[in-house]
Amino acid sequence: MRHQRVINHLGRTSSHRKAMFANMATSLILHKRISTTVAKAKALRSYVEPLITKSKEDSTHSRRVVFSYLGDKKAVAELFREISPKIAERPGGYTRILKTGNRIGDNAEMCILELVDYNELMLGKETARPKTTRRRRTSKKSTGDAGAKAEKKSSETKASKPSAEKKQAAENQSEGSEEKEVTE
């Protein structure tokens, strides 16, 4: 029976699994997001989050410990220089798993594993929400007639502008072709 056997071996030997996690963690640190299967992402999360926590204290010992897990100087430098100051206030939960559907070849459930503080789209949604209030200057009854007149005028000006631009573009092309004939 498998009582209390919580580690997912992912069908690999211990050395293969350690090497795979080191490579995936290095890629995650350098690129801030990776695409992988859900099972690997969940296993990698328990591998990389203690390393990120260790990077909060920038000492020689913690750098050596993280290097023993990753085995890549560039990843260790990136982790201690750029990532750890950004996540210094966060008490945990440094990664996010976004499920993306199933892989075509073998129908494996795929996901994107990313560092939480580096997703510009989600951070942008939270910070770029200015409060806007909309007020009407006139009543609804007068807006209907005025709105129709304004819409008619704007459609007339829009219709006239493209035709003028088209004429000018045609003249520029004809002048360009005449200059080519003269130079040849």
Mean pLDDT, residues 137-157 taken together: 58
Q: Give alpha helix (H) positions in the chain.
A: 14-31, 38-54, 60-70, 73-78, 84-86, 120-127, 140-183
> How far apart are alpha carbons 157 and 51 in whole angstroms?
62
Q: Is the pLDDT of residue 13 over 80?
A: yes
Q: For 18-39, give one letter per residue: b (16+ CB within 10 A) or e.
A: eebbbebbbbbbeebebebbee
Specify whether the CB–CB gap between 109 and 37 falls below 8 A: yes
Q: Tens of pLDDT along 22-44?
A: 999 999 999 999 999 999 999 99
- The predicted model scores a pTM of 0.65
**Using the 8-state DSSP alphabet, how is residue 116 labeled?**
G
Q: Tens of pLDDT along 68-126?
A: 999 999 999 999 999 999 999 999 999 999 999 999 999 999 999 999 999 878 777 65
Q: Which two tokens stand for residue 106?
A: 């073998």
CA angle 147–148–154, rounded 5-degree value = 85
Per-residue pLDDT, 52? 97
Tell me the average pLDDT of the chain: 83
Q: Which two tokens stand for residue 55?
A: 């990077």
Q: Which two tokens stand for residue 53?
A: 């926590």
Task: Give the residue from 61, 71, 63 showing the smallest Cα distance to 15.
Answer: 71
Q: What percent of the chain has pLDDT over 70?
A: 70
Q: Say how far residue 175 (Cα) sits from the centre of its chain.
A: 47
Q: Is the pLDDT of residue 64 over 70?
A: yes
> How far apart are alpha carbons 143 and 145 in whole angstroms?
6
